[in-house]
Structure 1
Amino acid sequence: MPSQKLASFGATVVTYNMVTRPMYQALDADKRTEEAVLRRGKVKAERPQIVTPHFLSRTVGFGEEAQDFMRELIRRGQADDAGILYTYSNEPLQMEIISSRPEEVAERISKRIDSESQPLEAVILGVDELWDVSLMKFIFDLTNSSGPKNAADFVRSGRMKMDNGVPIDARLRIEDSLRQVQDGNLDPAVLHRELEAWQLFDEYQDRFFRALKGRGPLI
């Protein structure tokens, strides 16, 4: 695993080295030559967002079972409880075949990462036909190990507090988006979707239209 956790207030890019035993070696009864498949890529973790189940229900398509779960959260009064949402994207870079045992390849990469002090690089021993699942397992473990630190950072910063059913983190994100729209650095549709998902468009609509026109103070 990388020695550095996911950042709480910004994006994190992790370089991964996925090492697997090629599928075709299972058909080689003699196995005279050991080979390994090395896939390199980058996983980008966007800045973690503080959200609520209500917010997610308006932004993500849910099936009937998930809707039942949401109704149960509402019944319990937990639909506006704050939680942390992590989103990722994967950028494959290269793939090569190496004449060596996968365990040996992984060990060499691990030693190189340590010697170069790369805190955001990882080596993963995976399964060739399920290499993408192996990558998802790595992301899951990285998220789990980073979650407690991220949550503590959010609590200390006050971003986990709620303001009329909306996390302070979301309101700060909206403020930043308003400035970006006014400066022409953000598609207004992105901000509009965020406001609608939080059911805040009526509250922010005057400032939204001023930002859209690029004139007047946002306060």
Structure 2
Amino acid sequence: MHSPDDIQYAMESTRVLLEPDRRIDTFGETRFEFLLLSELMDSAGKIRIRSGEVEALKPQIVRPDGYSEIELEGFTDKARERFDAMVEKMRAQGQDLAFLNYGFRFKRGQVNEEIVHDSLEVVRDRVMEAERIAGNPAKAVIEGVDDAWEVSIFKFSFEMILRSWAINRFDFQRRGLL
């Protein structure tokens, strides 16, 4: 398990280089594809590219305050511990986590890995250019930390929740659910 400092470092180091055009649907499922770039810890000039998808599943229920949790499917128990530590760190920083009451559930699909022998800057530029040309509205490109890469995926997921929150709240209010 990673220490709180490792998790904090991963959160601070993670950058979303390309954000998906869409947001998390309030009453449906939303699938995001990702490319996660990370430099191998003990190997200069080696970059790991992880590709996969994260799905925000349809919320099932609005939960009372005491039952606020995000469900994670396809993530390991260690990932759950990392996620919980990240949430506690965000709470300690005073961030508003009211959105946790809305039954968000995330499912991680299979993740593929590739090692590229080049500098991070060159790989980043090449990947970003390829993604600009492809124009996939559901694609995210993330730069993160290799050994705590799931923290980078969690941070991206949290950012998508936060960016979607205003639209989701409006949809809930419009239907009389808030």
Is 1:160 aligned to residue 171 of structure 2? no
1:52 matched to 2:66: no
Partner of 1:123: 141
Give me the TM-score of the superposition, normalised by structure 2: 0.65
Q: Contact (CA 8 Å) 1:84, 1:151: kept in 2 or not?
A: no
4+ residue stretches of structure 1 with deviation over 6 A? none
Give the structure with the larger strand fraction.
Answer: 2
Matches within 5 A, 1:1-219: 1-25=19-43, 31=44, 34-53=45-64, 56=67, 83-156=101-174, 158-161=175-178
Q: Which has the higher helix share?
A: 1
TM-score, normalising length: structure 1? 0.54
Deviations 1:123-158 (A, max 9, x none): 1100011111111111111111111111112222x1
Q: Which has the larger radius of gyration?
A: 1
The total of aligned residue pairs comes to 130
Aligned-residue RMSD, C-alpha: 2.3
Cα deviation, residue 104, structure 1: 2.7
Question: Identity of counterpart residues, as a percentage?
Answer: 29
- Gaps spanning 5+ residues in structure 2: where? 1-18, 72-99
Partner secondary structure for residue 137 of structure 1: helix
